[in-house]
Amino acid sequence: EKARAETDASAFRFKEPAAGVDERHHVAEGHDADILIRWGDPVLPGAPAFDPKSQSAEAQAGQFGYNNDFLGYIPLPGAADPSAHGLLVVNHEYTNEELMFPGIPPQHTKDVRFKDMTKALVDIEMMAHGGSVIEVRKVNGKWQVVPDSKYARRITAETEMEITGPAAGAERMKTSYDAEGRKVRGMLNNCAGGITPWGTWLTCEENFNGYFWGKADGHPEEAALKRYGVPGNSYNWGQHYDRFDLAKEPNESNRFGWVVEIDPLDPTSVPKKRTAMGRFKHEGAANIVNKDRRFVVYQGDDERFDYVYKFVTEGRVDPADRAANMDLLDRGTLHVARYDADGTGEWLPLVFGEGPLTAANGFASQADVVIEARRAADLLGATKMDRPEDVEANPQTDKVYVMLTNNARRKAEQVDAANPRANNEFGHIIEMLPEGGDHAARKFTWEILVKCGDPSIADVGATFSSATSKDGWFGMPDNCAIDSEGRLWVSTDGMSEKSTGRTDGLFALDTEGAARGTSKLFFRCPAGAELCGPMPTPDLTTFFVAVQHPGDDGKDWSAFGRISTFDDPATRWPDFQDGMPPRPSIVAITKRGGGKIAG
């Protein structure tokens, strides 16, 4: 009876597909899930068609990049129907060599150590990183990429960017390429992001450490490097390019790990790394205009035992003057969260000269505070979390949702109220309420919305409502979206790797009333993929999702009982053609016959 009441109270109306693992994607009954654009499809005018057997850096520089993650939809100014014609901005987070290149085995193993990764292949990887801007339009109910759009743009690991905010011009930002510490080439490992109300794209550098090569031991910045896991040695770019070799270019890594702001309406605009927002492994930059019109950006630092942050601008958003908002993100206050056991909490400001953030602790300026934001947050006593991913505010309720993806390294003696499970393999979601509904306030209250995982296994300790079906539960929450009806959607990262018998997907999670904590599966990925970018159009007739790394084995290279590679992949989604590798792609989900999805 209780379960029925929870089901009836749900804000979502759709029939779940069955959870499971196979080579294809699956969507809730009555919906279509159509491929919009795939890795290698042309973006820039004149770019060649995808030919995976003779790919080149030059071709890739004009084509859709690899591993689409964040998606932002920006209605085109003046569009007759803002939910049928707009720009999609897309992050290309990283590359998987063994799935991209014929004949290349996994390169990260001890015996291989990138020996197959020639400069020509690294150059393709560098062009497959960054982001894409594409113009999209709905024609007869189906989305299409507008070819040769004047807005079409590729951002890569070589695109010149400006460094702005307190770290601009600092000694620790200077390199042989940039004696002023004010310009940098490329953005790396851009995971999630956000769209500002003035129509710019915030794109977030996450695991930037992986691109740096060498050793931290004995380096002049040894302690600072180690706090960020630099060098990560996840790629061998440093063997071919000095700037990624720590010994040759000691400051280059300080120029990554930032939030980048890009104006997609001006394809000639120079992207800006906004250093006031701090340097860490940024997951996302979802945001809200506060009631006093200051702009507040919520940010997770995705690392085990790292922190939840927010940035509050000094200036106010002017809805009538786009140009006046363009550099708002250069001035403001970065804060980090402390969650107290009584269900309250406090945002602690990271301001040079205040509290422990002084010369006595090695901070000579606000530049040092933002470059070493993690160490500053350590000194302030922030709460060490279970890998903070997306953090999004619901403008209808002012509640803020924090995705904590997992942390299997948390030991029993390290458990606290906000991270209550040891060996937290499946993650949890925290709901916060700022004091007085004021997103700039220092104080908040919080509670756990749900502990994730399979509710049928008592040891897991999951807390989904009893109306959640065997298909509807999830683990490893990563990205989320709050739709225009104030409903929460959660996408996941890591279920294929955990032998859960199910792939990642998109889940509808009730937050209000009797159905609170009820989860339903809406879209399911092909084998090996993670689901990113969930982005509904304003009118809710479309949900864009990003299927990332289809066919990926995961770190242990054994999830499919064999090594999944270009030549023998676990799936050839979405083309299913011999010789075609799996291709990260964007999918547009619509209701068959029209109308609101999940309505």
Binding site for Ca ion (CB under 5 A): 191, 478, 493
CB of 302 to ligand FEO, least distance (A): 3
CB of 568 to ligand FEO, least distance (A): 26
User: Sheet harboring 26-27: ordered strands across?
Assistant: 26-27, 519-524, 505-509, 488-492, 477-482
Question: In terms of CB distance, is 427 or 455 closer to ligand FEO?
Answer: 427
List 245, 389, 454, 471, residue binding ligand FEO (CB under 6 A): 389
Q: Which is nearest to 172 in space by CA: 161, 190, 184?
A: 184
Question: How many CA atoms are closer than 13 Å to the CA of 48, on its beta-carbon side?
Answer: 11
CB atoms within 10 A of CB 456: 9
List 478, 497, 510, 553, residue binding ligand FEO (CB under 6 A): 478
Question: In terms of CB distance, is 206 or 431 closer to ligand FEO?
Answer: 206
Widest Cα–Cα separation across the chain: 69
CB of 533 to ligand FEO, least distance (A): 11
List 19, 163, 191, 589, residue binding ligand FEO (CB under 6 A): 191
Binding to ligand FEO (CB under 6 A) within 55-114 occurs at: 93
**Which tokens is 276 given?**
């006031």
HEC profile of 385-397: EECEEEEEECCCC
Cβ-proximal residues to 261 (8 Å cutoff; 6+ apart), any chain = 196, 200, 201, 202, 271, 272, 274, 329
CB of 129 to ligand FEO, least distance (A): 13
Q: Which is nearest to 374 in space by CA: 276, 254, 227?
A: 227
CB of 123 to Ca ion, least distance (A): 23
Integer angstrom CA distances of residue 43 from 37, 40, 62, 153: 9, 9, 6, 7
Question: In terms of CB distance, is 164 or 189 closer to ligand FEO?
Answer: 189
Integer angstrom CA distances of residue 596 from 536, 545, 588: 10, 16, 13
Question: In terms of CB distance, is 531 or 589 closer to Ca ion?
Answer: 531
CB of 553 to Ca ion, least distance (A): 15
Residue nearest to Ca ion as judged by C-beta position:
493
d(CA 343, CA 333): 24
The DSSP bridge partners found for residue 506 are 491, 523
283 lies in the site for ligand FEO, by CB under 6 A = yes
Burial of 144 (0-12, 13-18, 19+ CB in 10 A): middle
Interacting partner of 135 out of Ca ion, ligand FEO, none (Cβ under 5 to 8 A depending on kind): none
302 lies in the site for ligand FEO, by CB under 6 A = yes
Question: In terms of CB distance, is 228 or 363 closer to Ca ion?
Answer: 228
CB of 116 to Ca ion, least distance (A): 23
d(CA 119, CA 244): 13
Binding to ligand FEO (CB under 6 A) within 106-165 occurs at: none
Question: In terms of CB distance, is 330 or 530 closer to ligand FEO?
Answer: 530
Strands 259-262 and 201-205: antiparallel
Question: In terms of CB distance, is 249 or 389 closer to ligand FEO?
Answer: 389
CB of 203 to ligand FEO, least distance (A): 12
Question: In terms of CB distance, is 294 or 549 closer to ligand FEO?
Answer: 549
Binding to ligand FEO (CB under 6 A) within 409-448 occurs at: none
378 lies in the site for ligand FEO, by CB under 6 A = no
Name the residues that contact ligand FEO, by CB under 6 A.
Answer: 93, 191, 206, 283, 302, 389, 478
